[in-house]
Amino acid sequence: MLLTGLTHSREPTSLTVLLYFLGHLLDQFRSGDPAAVYVLETREIWFVPFVNPDGYIANQALSNKVIRKNRRPTCASSVNGGVDINRNFGIHWSGQFNGCNEEHGGTGPFSEPETQALKKLCEENKFMTAMNFHAFGGMLTHPYNWADKDMLPKEDKQIYREIGDVFGWPKFGPAIATVGYTAYGESDDWMYGSQHIISMSPEVGPESGDFWPGQQLIRGINERNFARTLYVAQKSGLEFKLQAVHTPRGTTTLASSETSKLGELPLGLLDLSIQNAGLATSAGKVLGVAVQGAVRSGAAVPSGGQVAALVFTGGPGAQGAPVTASLRSDILSFQLEAVARRSTSSLRLVVSGALEKREGGRLLQVCVAEARQGQPQAVPACHCGQVALPAASNLVAVTSTSGRETFVLPGIANLGLLCSVAAGAVGTQGTSTSVGSLPASPSVVSLPASPLPFLQKNTAVVAAPVGSSSSGGLQPAGGSPVSPVPIGAPPDESTALWALFAMALTAGGMVICLLTQGFVKHRTSQVARRAPSTTDLERIPALQAQGEVDEDGDPLDHLSIGAKM
C-alpha cells in the first residue's frame, strides 16, 4: 500500500492525515488492537508524506500561502511559477497550460524529479492500493480523471464503490463527478492505468476550513480519516464476508455414504459462503475455519466412530467426499483452501442431529485464520463475522449476510477462543493443499501482551520522505529493521562480552550527561518521541488560520467545489 501527502503544497491536511495515521496505527499496535496488529503484521505500507517539500517551505514565507506547484522557475512571478506535480504523470498528459497557470503540467510527462521518484517507487513495488491525499471538500476521486464519463471496467467500478460506501462522502467518482472538471497527467490515472493499482485521492477536510483549516478542525479531520485509511489497508489483502443459508433438510438426499457417521441426520442444512472481497488471495495455502452456533452448548464429543459434523466443499449439490469437522465444546473447526481475491468458497455443513442446536434464535459466529508465510502457527489476528439464524425447530429457508468483518486476537474466551480454534486449525496441517480433518482439541494459539515485546517504549521510529512500515520490521532511527531476540536462548561468550562492553559505554554516557546537563536546553515537550501526536501535528507551520467551527469537521450537507485535485 502507498500513502502520499502534500502533492500540492497549499494542502497541509493531506500531510497531517497521513502522519496521524502512521502515529495512531503504531499506538494502536502497541496497545494490542486486533485490527492494527493484523495490518502491521500482514501489510507493507509505504509513506511519502512530503511529495512537494519545496513548495511547502516556500509557503511558510507567504502570508496568503497560495503556492500549489513545485518550485521550477516557469514564470516571471515566483509565486505563480512551477509545475503542477499532479498534472505531470505519463497518462493523457497535456501541455495546454502555460508556465504561470496553476495546472501547468511541465515540458513533458515525468519531467519533474518528484514524479520520477514516485514512478520509480511504483515500478519497483507491487502496490495493491494507493491513497494520494489532497484537500479539501470531503470527496473521494478515482480514475479515470481525464475522461468526461466513468470508464472503469465493471469489477473495478464495484471495488471503488465498496470503498466509497465505507468513506461515506456524498461526492464520489472520477474528477468530472467530484470537482466538476477533467484532469490530465494525473497520479491516480497513471497508477491505475499503468501499474494496475487501485489508486484514489481523498479530498480531506471541510469546505469551512479552506486549504489552511483552523487548529480546532485538525484533530477531527485526522481522526475521522484514520478509519477510512485503515479500511483501504485491510482491503489490500483478504477481506472476509460471511453468508449463511439455512434450509430445512426435508427430503434432500445427501449423496455420500459418510453421512452414516453422523448417526441422526439434522433438521436443517447450513450452506456457508466464505467470501474474499479483498484484492489479494488469503495468506497461506489454507484457512483455518471455526464455527460457533451450529452445535448446542455442552454437546459431547461423539464416540464409537460417529462424528459431530461433515463438511462438503462446493456448496449445495457437491458430489465430492466430505471431511470431518473437529468439535471442541460447541465449536466446529476445519480447514479450507485459500480463497482467491474477489472470489467465494462455498461449503455445506451437515451437523449430527444429536448435536444440532434447535431451540431459540441462533447467532452463528465464524472466524477464519490465515497462516503467515512459512509460519503456520503464527496467526496475527482472525477475521470474524456473524449472522442471525432462525430456530431449527421452526425452520424456513433464510439467507443471512454478515456486515463488516471484525478482527480478533486469539484468546481464551468468547471470540478470542473461537479465533484460537481457527488458528489451531491452520497450524495442524499448515502445508496441506486441501480441506483436511483435525484432532478433537486443536491447540490454542495466543499472542504476547505486547505484539512486539522487543520493541521498547522509547524506540525511535522515523518516517523519511520515502519510507516504509512493513511486516518485515519497523525502521528504527539507525536504519536497519528491528529484529526480535529469541526469548530464553542462552547467550554465547561473544554475546556476553558485547553486553558488558555496551553496559560500560552506557555508564560512561550517563556520567557525561550528568556533567553536562547544565548546558543542555531541555526540549522534551517539543519533540515527538516516536510518532507524531495530534498536538505535534497542530504545530505544523501556518496551520493557524482561523476557520469556521464545524463540529463534525466533514461536510454535512451540500458541497461547493473549492479545491483543485
Domain containing residue 299: CATH number: 2.60.40
Helix 13-30 to helix 34-42 angle (10° resolution) is: 100
- Using an 8 Å Cβ cutoff, are 416 and 363 in contact? no
Q: Which of 180-184, 353-357, 460-464, 523-527 has the highest average model confidence (pLDDT)?
A: 180-184
Residue 2 β-bridge partners: 46, 130
Torsion of CA 454, 458, 464, 466, to 10 degrees: 30
Cell of 445: 494459539
Least confident of 240-249, 408-417, 550-559: 550-559
Same domain, 268 and 188: no
* C-alpha distances in Å from residue 202, one per residue of 53, 308, 315: 20, 50, 40
CATH code (residue 37): 3.40.630.10
**What pLDDT sits at residue 36?**
96
**With b meaning 16 or more CB within 10 Å and e meaning fewer, what string describes 253-274?**
ebeeebbebbeebbbbbbbbbb
Same domain, 175 and 42: yes
Same domain, 196 and 314: no
Q: Is residue 30 part of a domain?
A: yes
Give the H/E segment covering residue 417.
helix 414-428
The residue from 428, 445, 460 where one domain ends is: 428
Same domain, 331 and 255: yes
At residue 316 the predicted structure's pLDDT band, cuts being 50, 70 and 90, is low
Same domain, 364 and 316: yes
Handedness of CA 485, 489, 492, 497 (dihedral sign): positive
Mean pLDDT value across residues 526-534: 36
The residue from 428, 453, 470 where one domain ends is: 428
Q: Is residue 153 part of a domain?
A: yes
How many structural domains are present in the chain?
2
The arrangement of strands across the sheet holding 406-408 comes to: 398-401, 240-248, 268-276, 343-351, 309-313, 323-328, 331-337, 286-292, 362-370, 382-389, 406-408
Q: Is residue 333 part of a domain?
A: yes
**What pLDDT sits at residue 457?**
33
Residue 295 β-bridge partners: 356
**What length does the chain have?**
565
Give the model confidence (pLDDT) of 74-132 as tens digits. Answer: 999 999 999 999 999 999 999 999 999 999 999 999 999 999 999 999 999 999 999 99
User: Is the model's pLDDT at 184 over the cut of 70?
Assistant: yes
Cell of 315: 456448496
User: Is the model's pLDDT at 356 over the cut of 90?
Assistant: no
At residue 399 the predicted structure's pLDDT band, cuts being 50, 70 and 90, is confident
Same domain, 229 and 303: no
Q: Is residue 56 part of a domain?
A: yes
Same domain, 334 and 386: yes
The residue from 374, 393, 428 where one domain ends is: 428
Cell of 40: 502491521
Give the model confidence (pLDDT) of 535-548 as tens digits. Answer: 444 444 444 433 44
**What pLDDT sits at residue 476?**
31
What 3 state SS string does 96-111 have?
Answer: CCCCCCCCCCCCCCCC
Same domain, 265 and 184: no
Cell of 69: 506547484
337 belongs to the catalytic site? no
At residue 394 the predicted structure's pLDDT band, cuts being 50, 70 and 90, is low
User: Is the model's pLDDT at 516 over the cut of 60?
Assistant: no
Residue 415 CB burial class (10 angstroms; 0-12, 13-18, ≥19): buried
Q: How far apart are CA 338 and CA 238, in angstroms?
A: 10
Q: Is residue 249 part of a domain?
A: yes
Domain of residue 294, residue span: 240-428
Residue of 441, 446, 431 whose CA lies nearest to 379: 446
Q: How far apart are CA 70 and CA 51, in angstroms?
A: 9
Residue of 335, 471, 472 whose CA lies nearest to 38: 471
Catalytic residue among 41, 112, 203, 207: 203
Same domain, 284 and 166: no
Q: How far apart are CA 277 and CA 516, in angstroms?
A: 59
Residue predicted with more confidence, 2 or 472: 2
Q: Is residue 458 part of a domain?
A: no
Mean pLDDT value across residues 419-440: 57
- Please give the share of the chain, as a percent, with pLDDT higher than 70: 70
Least confident of 101-110, 161-170, 318-327, 546-555: 546-555
Same domain, 259 and 354: yes
Same domain, 253 and 342: yes
At residue 393 the predicted structure's pLDDT band, cuts being 50, 70 and 90, is low
Q: Is residue 326 part of a domain?
A: yes
Least confident of 75-84, 192-201, 367-376: 367-376
Residue 151 CB burial class (10 angstroms; 0-12, 13-18, ≥19): exposed
Same domain, 98 and 135: yes
Residue of 384, 383, 379 whose CA lies nearest to 451: 379
Residue of 333, 315, 312 whose CA lies nearest to 323: 312
